[in-house]
């Protein structure tokens, strides 16, 4: 079966976990009324399901074609992209003064989940374009903004991020691409960049490359990096397209997944130098990148949610159709649908529980980013910004880790058929794999959390967040809608998170090797506690609705999902806490000479 | 880098976990002296490293070609297979009276790990041939044995298993292939089988298919299935190859991994009926299959170990070469090799710990199978048979589950390069994926453990095994070579295993839905406890050797590995135990009408 945008589940998470209604009620997004939100979700869902989902398979099998420096996307992709931009989807969350619709990033996040659920490879193009919009909006000169922003907001042109070089991946300080000042105020850019997503393609007539490079007098390391805008085609004063810039695609990679999106090697300056313009200040390019990092990482987290959701849908559909054996208590004709077998139900519930928890975490980041943009006063915006900063690595790493786990379970549910490419289950797994790597590997996310985010406001941000988790559980407990089987493991998980947080805070300042060693299990513990509470909030709302007479099997499943997560996943929190507090001792002497 | 057979690690596990020397000392395999074993490991390792490992990549990229009913393997494969059989490797563990070398299955398991480490797709061919040898040896008539066994033992011909049909996968009771008695004692076989590994190929001149089918008067379900031998080419009385049998390959699958091995749809009887001969008794085909199941499942477990080892080697090699950033405490020139970064070391140690634990479990199954074949008396053989039966699903499921986890970590260690197919890291992940599915999905393994294996001798087998784990830990503790950081979490894990085992035993007999619901986390807990103890045995031997003056970085790594497993993996055992004891309550109401 093909992906269907899970509108009801998305809306439920937006309202009961991420507090979408409060954004409107607080007057931050007066245009985002409940009716508007529902109508947009409905329309986006239809577009994703009907127009984009069919791209997934053809993108995988046809991939992209590279010849004579040109990249051709799979059949139907250009038309779909045009229809998508014409629908105004690229501009959803952009400010009205830029031609956008000024709607919440939270709503955009929900839509992004749908585009990516339909096709991760497709969803990547707008992901990078929106990043470019953000960078230009915040840091670019008036001239650059006037020339490029309108086209990028509409999606008429796409954007790229050119960071990685062969010797500079996670460590951007090692990059070597060069920029030289020209007398006319532009810069001459030379160098080679690798792994450039949508670096070249035929979806649009122009491509706006954001390129990190060094000036001749740049300090070494990350403090000597500047950010440049380098268009594929130069733009004339009247806005028409001019001559070709000196930037070329030298090849595309053969990848494990997301075959529909070109991953390019880009060469700048083969014919003397590409023309670029500075964004922000010289040597401050990394700071420009960082301002857009939270949202870009959130977007990749949403790709994880999307892939997990898609894998879950396909596995559930298969499990309902495929019949084998007789499940306990099966009284129907012949063999049971395998969805009735306890071990298959376990896999499906695990897939669903992890997916919905990750969705809740990602949406909470989006909500915080909205409040950081539009909060009533500076203090509110700052608090929201810090909350977003804290939760971003948790959401990105957890959502993309579980995407891999869930997609692998999806293959498993299919049995032997899952290993056959035609079935399509394996594609979710192949496509999802990169999400744990790009936009900062999940190891980098854990280090970011441990070494930079925990210490925000001397630990007050994380302590506040843990207090909110505890408060949520207390509020839920008072309603008596959920059983101790849900609430007790979650309370223990929050306890475990609290004690390890204090341990990590102390370690980060006094024994960094310990904090670095424990960063990954600590992030997982954080996500398990916060994700479990998010599920409990959904479950409480569902149980409440049922108590008030709503008959909806989806509500029962929401309660079951939270129960499963609490008893089967959050139950591991105390073990994780013990692991965290081993610190560097857990890692022994290293791999010195031994094999 | 290419796979290198890890001979030293293998030998260490054979001796200190699986008790290889005791097999010789007990007089069960007088030919398997320490010198012989070392020489064989050395030679097998050289063959795997030099001759087979280069097949892995070409098998993946060239795959197999299907045209006009014929399957052509990748360049170099036929030559490698010939060299391999000429080396006598297929006959290593076959009894001397069949032309084999009569060496332990345990030694064969070590070699099998190496063939599969070099190439899972290659290793599959002998895996199935050895299964056919076992089935024929135990159940076939004198005539069949005389005609086929010698060729199969040498590997001159290969064997296949034809079980699956489109509607009959995990539930073999649903199979429909038909067999009709002929007057000459042969049978006319008709039907279609899918997912037949090496069903057709060009490695050998003949292929011996073992086919499950139903006689016209067969009872319904699994009690009406018979096993038949159906050669691709009929064999004349003098042993020469005769005419083509009515069996054909109708196509090969396009798969996620193991591209080098053909996965065939086989049709029997398109031209009136294939000629087959009964193996064992009519309607007792499944019993014949079951006798070879333990070893076949062990072999797939070994594929898991092999893939995990290969992924680990490649990731470690990359992590030593690739430089990014500066690790804490790094005093060398420029950037650190990423192996120095704590989060990378964590990934590598997790890969290694899971791999070596899985190896220990698999080798212990092989040792038990050896004692079941050759034990001094019936009681000893029976006890060993039961021990093998108990541990087989644990070893198969754990080794193949961790293979997927480890191979995915291997991609992660590579960062963006891991997603590029040329790097080779992704192939380990693609190849490993099937091992958790075939030869009984890991869900089936867990059910087998929970519903059939725990109750052996009314629970005495599993209780004995847990007692041995406890005994091992006590023995190790007395030597004072290992710290409490290793021993305490393992003791807790064994405690957790004991209490959940009693819970599962009771559930299996009185509340099967609970036992079925908890089978998967219970199996994981079992493997974590037993695998952790296996690692502790290695670590104790290594620490002892160091205390006695041996300077070997590998010994330090063995101690570190056990410590990591105990504190970072076995620490989760109590959480797993809590999850197990939720039983069916964890699974809620099911997926009835809800999406």
- Nearest C-alpha in A relative to B405: A405
Query: How far apart, in whole angstroms, are the C-alpha atoms of residue B563 and residue B37?
Result: 29
Give contacts of B584 with chain A, Cβ < 8 Å: 342
- Nearest C-alpha in A relative to B252: A420
Q: Chain A neighbours among B 406-435 (CB < 8 Å)? A: 408, 411-412, 415-416, 418-422, 426, 429-430, 433-434
Give the pLDDT of residue A592. 66
Tell me which of B165, B200, B350, B439 is the catalytic residue: B439
Give contacts of A168 with chain B, Cβ < 8 Å: 324
Query: How far apart, in whole angstroms, are the C-alpha atoms of residue A160 and residue B531?
Result: 47
Give the pLDDT of residue A292. 77
Q: How far is A317 from chain B (nearest CA, A)?
A: 9
Coil, helix or strand for A60?
A: helix
State how far Cα A277 lies from the chain centre: 29
Give 3-state DSSP helix, strand, coil % of chain A, rounded to 5: 65, 10, 25
Instruction: From residue A170, give the alpha-carbon distance in Å to each of A234, B141, B228, B418.
Output: 31, 64, 58, 14
Are A517 and B341 an interchain contact pair (Cβ–Cβ within 8 Å)? no
Are A416 and B426 an interchain contact pair (Cβ–Cβ within 8 Å)? no
Give contacts of B261 with chain A, Cβ < 8 Å: none
Residue A533 sits at the chain B interface (C-beta within 8 Å): no
When scoring A346, A492, A529 by the number of chain B Cβ atoms within 10 A, the one with the most, hence best to mutate, is A346
ipTM over 0.90: yes
The residue written with tokens 């008959």 in the block is A551
Of B404, B561, B575, the CB nearest to A571: B575
Give contacts of B319 with chain A, Cβ < 8 Å: 591
Q: Answer for the pair A132, A209: CB distance below 8 angstroms, yes or no.
A: no
Give pLDDT tens digits for A357-406: 999 999 999 999 999 999 999 999 999 999 999 999 999 999 999 999 99
Where do the structural domains in chain B lie, given as residue ranges? 7-139, 158-287, 453-586
Residue A61 sits at the chain B interface (C-beta within 8 Å): no
CB atoms within 10 A of CB A178: 18
Are A519 and B342 an interchain contact pair (Cβ–Cβ within 8 Å)? yes
Which CATH number is A7-139+149-154's, of 3.20.20.150, 1.10.540.10, 1.10.10.10, 1.10.3720.10?
1.10.540.10
Are A433 and B422 an interchain contact pair (Cβ–Cβ within 8 Å)? no
Q: Chain B neighbours among A 199-218 (CB < 8 Å)? A: none
CB atoms within 10 A of CB A478: 9
Q: Answer for the pair A208, A160: CB distance below 8 angstroms, yes or no.
A: yes
Are A576 and B578 an interchain contact pair (Cβ–Cβ within 8 Å)? no
Classify domain B158-287 at the CATH class level. mainly beta
Instruction: From residue A246, give the alpha-carbon distance in Å to each of A194, A234, A352.
Output: 16, 10, 48
Residue B514 confidence (pLDDT) above 70:
yes
Q: Answer for the pair B410, B317: CB distance below 8 angstroms, yes or no.
A: no
Are B520 and A343 an interchain contact pair (Cβ–Cβ within 8 Å)? yes
Give the pLDDT of residue B342. 97
Are B571 and A579 an interchain contact pair (Cβ–Cβ within 8 Å)? yes
Q: Answer for the pair B276, B269: CB distance below 8 angstroms, yes or no.
A: no
Q: How far is B133 from chain A (nearest CA, A)?
A: 25
Residue A320 sits at the chain B interface (C-beta within 8 Å): yes
Bridge partners of B335, per DSSP, are: none
Helix H or strand E segment including B425: helix B425-432
Query: How far apart, in whole angstroms, are the C-alpha atoms of residue A154 and residue A99?
Result: 8
Give contacts of A573 with chain B, Cβ < 8 Å: 575
Alpha-carbon torsion B246, B251, B257, B262, what sign? positive
Instruction: From residue A269, give the alpha-carbon distance in Å to each of A175, A188, A247, A282.
Output: 16, 8, 6, 20
Are A433 and B434 an interchain contact pair (Cβ–Cβ within 8 Å)? no
Q: Answer for the pair B152, B132: CB distance below 8 angstroms, yes or no.
A: yes
Residue B595: pLDDT band (50, 70, 90) is very low
Q: For residue A471, what are the contacts with CB-CB under 8 A and spacing of at least 6?
A: none
**Which of the residue ranges B346-350, B408-412, B591-595 would you say has the lowest mean pLDDT?**
B591-595
The tokens describing B272, both together, are: 């009136």
Q: Counting Cβ atoms within 10 Å, is residue B48 exposed (0-12), middle (13-18) or buried (19+)? A: buried
Residue B594 confidence (pLDDT) above 50:
no
Residue B348 sits at the chain A interface (C-beta within 8 Å): yes
Question: Which is higher by pLDDT, B1 or B222?
Answer: B222
| Radius of gyration of chain A from its Cα atoms, rounded to whole angstroms | 24
Query: What is the average pLDDT value for chain B, to the nearest integer?
Result: 96
Q: How far is B255 from chain A (nearest CA, A)?
A: 4
Exposure of A49 in the CB half-sphere (CA atoms within 13 A): 12
Of B335, B419, B430, the CB nearest to A434: B419
Residue count (chain B): 595
Are B437 and A420 an interchain contact pair (Cβ–Cβ within 8 Å)? no
Are A421 and B446 an interchain contact pair (Cβ–Cβ within 8 Å)? no
Query: How far apart, in whole angstroms, are the C-alpha atoms of residue B568 and residue B550?
Result: 28
Residue count (chain A): 595
Q: Chain B neighbours among A 552-591 (CB < 8 Å)? A: 552-554, 556-557, 559-561, 563-564, 567-568, 571-576, 578-579, 582, 584-591
> What CATH number does the domain located at A158-283 have?
2.40.110.20
Residue B307 sits at the chain A interface (C-beta within 8 Å): no
Is B439 catalytic? The answer is yes
Residue B251 sits at the chain A interface (C-beta within 8 Å): no
Instruction: From residue A19, give the alpha-carbon distance in Å to each of A11, A462, A469, B50, B149.
Output: 11, 19, 14, 61, 70
Question: pLDDT (tens digit, 0 to 9) for every residue of chain A, 595 residues total?
Answer: 799 999 999 999 999 999 999 998 899 998 889 999 999 999 999 999 999 999 999 999 999 999 999 999 999 999 999 999 999 999 999 988 888 999 999 999 999 999 999 999 999 999 999 999 999 999 999 999 999 999 999 999 999 999 999 999 989 999 999 999 999 999 999 999 999 999 999 999 999 999 999 999 999 988 999 999 999 999 999 999 999 999 999 999 999 999 999 999 999 999 999 999 999 999 999 988 887 787 899 999 999 999 999 999 999 999 999 999 999 889 988 999 999 999 999 999 999 999 999 999 999 999 999 999 999 999 999 999 999 999 999 999 999 999 999 999 999 999 999 999 999 999 999 999 999 999 999 999 999 999 999 999 999 999 999 999 999 999 999 999 999 999 999 999 999 999 999 999 999 999 999 999 999 999 999 999 999 999 999 999 999 999 999 989 999 999 999 999 999 999 999 999 999 999 999 999 988 644 4
- DSSP for B96-165? GGGTS----HHHHHHHHHHHHHH-HHHHHHHHHHHHHHHHHHHH--HHHIIIIIHHHHHTSSEEEEE--B
Considering chain B, what percentage of its residues have pLDDT values greater than 70?
99
CB atoms within 10 A of CB A8: 13
Q: Counting Cβ atoms within 10 Å, is residue B315 exposed (0-12), middle (13-18) or buried (19+)? A: buried
State how far Cα A48 lies from the chain centre: 17
Are A557 and B594 an interchain contact pair (Cβ–Cβ within 8 Å)? yes
Query: How far apart, in whole angstroms, are the C-alpha atoms of residue A311 and residue A1?
Result: 10
Q: For residue B546, what are the contacts with CB-CB under 8 A and spacing of at least 6?
A: B552, B555, B556
Query: How far apart, in whole angstroms, are the C-alpha atoms of residue A318 and residue A424?
Result: 11
- DSSP for A439-495? SS-HHHHHHHIIIIITTGGGGHHHHHHHHHHHHHHHHHHHHT-S-HHHHHHHHHHHH
Bridge partners of B255, per DSSP, are: A420
Alpha-carbon torsion B253, B256, B259, B262, what sign? negative
Q: Answer for the pair B488, B433: CB distance below 8 angstroms, yes or no.
A: no
Residue B197: pLDDT band (50, 70, 90) is very high
- Nearest C-alpha in B relative to A166: B417
Give contacts of A415 with chain B, Cβ < 8 Å: 169-170, 437, 441
CB atoms within 10 A of CB B76: 15
Q: How far is B182 from chain A (nearest CA, A)?
A: 32
Q: How far is A586 from chain B (nearest CA, A)?
A: 5
Of A559, A560, A594, the CB nearest to B553: A594
| Radius of gyration of chain B from its Cα atoms, rounded to whole angstroms | 24
Bridge partners of B284, per DSSP, are: B225
Of A346, A516, A563, the CB nearest to B328: A516
> What CATH number does the domain located at B7-139 have?
1.10.540.10
CB atoms within 10 A of CB A506: 13
Q: How far is B560 from chain A (nearest CA, A)?
A: 5
Are B572 and A567 an interchain contact pair (Cβ–Cβ within 8 Å)? no
Residue B346 sits at the chain A interface (C-beta within 8 Å): yes
Residue A220 sits at the chain B interface (C-beta within 8 Å): no
Dihedral Cα A16, A19, A24, A25, nearest 10 deg: 80
Of B171, B257, B438, the CB nearest to A324: B171
Q: For residue B273, what are the contacts with CB-CB under 8 A and spacing of at least 6?
A: B180, B188, B189, B190, B246
Give contacts of A561 with chain B, Cβ < 8 Å: 588
Q: Counting Cβ atoms within 10 Å, is residue B463 exposed (0-12), middle (13-18) or buried (19+)? A: middle
């Amino acid at each position: 079966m093909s992906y269907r945008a899970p509108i009801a589940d998305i809306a439920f998470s937006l309202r009961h976990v991420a507090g979408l209604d409060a954004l409107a009620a607080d007057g931050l997004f007066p245009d985002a009324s409940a009716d508007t939100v529902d109508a947009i979700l409905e329309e986006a869902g239809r577009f994703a399901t009907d127009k984009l989902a069919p791209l997934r398979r053809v993108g995988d099998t046809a991939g992209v074609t590279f010849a004579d420096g040109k990249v051709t996307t799979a059949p139907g992709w250009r038309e779909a992209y045009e229809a998508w931009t014409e629908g105004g989807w690229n501009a959803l969350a952009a400010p009205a003064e830029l031609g956008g619709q000024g709607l919440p990033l939270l709503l955009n996040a929900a839509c992004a989940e749908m585009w990516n659920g339909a096709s991760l490879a497709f969803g990547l193009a707008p992901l990078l374009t929106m990043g470019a919009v953000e960078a230009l909006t915040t840091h670019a000169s008036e001239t650059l903004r006037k020339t490029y922003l309108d086209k990028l907001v509409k999606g008429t042109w796409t954007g790229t991020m050119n960071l990685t070089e062969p010797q500079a991946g996670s460590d951007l300080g090692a990059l070597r691409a060069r920029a030289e000042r020209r007398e006319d105020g532009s810069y001459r850019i030379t160098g080679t960049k690798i792994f450039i997503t949508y670096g070249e393609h035929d979806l649009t007539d122009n491509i706006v490359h954001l390129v990190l490079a060094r000036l001749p007098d740049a300090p070494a390391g990350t403090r000597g990096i500047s950010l440049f805008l380098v268009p594929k085609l130069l733009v004339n004063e009247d806005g028409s397209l001019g001559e070709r810039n000196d930037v070329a695609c030298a090849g595309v990679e053969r990848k494990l997944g997301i075959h529909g999106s070109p991953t390019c090697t880009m060469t700048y300056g083969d014919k003397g130098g590409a023309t670029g313009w500075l964004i922000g200040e010289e040597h401050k390019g990394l700071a420009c990148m960082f301002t857009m990092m939270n949202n870009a990482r959130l977007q990749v987290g949403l790709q994880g949610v999307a892939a997990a959701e898609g894998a879950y849908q396909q596995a559930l559909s298969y499990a309902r159709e495929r019949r084998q054996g007789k499940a306990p208590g099966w009284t129907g004709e012949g063999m049971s649908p395998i969805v009735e077998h306890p071990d298959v139900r376990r896999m499906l519930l695990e897939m669903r529980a992890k997916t919905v928890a990750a969705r809740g975490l990602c949406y909470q980041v989006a909500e915080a980013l909205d409040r950081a943009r539009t909060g009533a006063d500076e203090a509110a915006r700052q608090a929201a910004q810090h909350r977003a900063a804290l939760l971003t690595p948790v959401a990105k790493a957890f959502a993309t880790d579980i995407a891999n786990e869930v997609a692998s379970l999806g293959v498993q549910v299919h049995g032997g058929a899952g290993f056959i490419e035609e079935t399509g289950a394996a594609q979710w797994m192949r496509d999802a794999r990169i999400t744990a790597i790009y936009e900062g590997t999940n190891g980098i996310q854990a280090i970011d959390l441990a070494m930079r985010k925990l210490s925000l406001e001397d630990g007050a941000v994380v302590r506040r967040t843990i207090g909110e988790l505890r408060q949520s559980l207390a509020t839920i407990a008072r309603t008596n809608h959920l059983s101790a089987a849900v609430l007790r493991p979650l309370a223990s998980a929050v306890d475990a998170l609290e004690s390890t947080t204090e341990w990590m805070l102390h370690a980060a300042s006094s024994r960094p090797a310990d904090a670095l060693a424990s960063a990954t299990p600590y992030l997982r513990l954080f996500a398990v506690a916060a994700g479990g509470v998010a599920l409990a909030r959904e479950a409480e709302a569902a149980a409440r609705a049922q108590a008030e007479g709503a008959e909806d099997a989806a509500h029962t499943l929401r309660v079951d999902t939270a129960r499963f997560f609490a008893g089967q996943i959050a139950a591991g929190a105390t073990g994780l806490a013990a692991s965290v507090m081993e610190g560097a001792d857990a890692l022994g002497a290293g791999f010195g000479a031994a094999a």
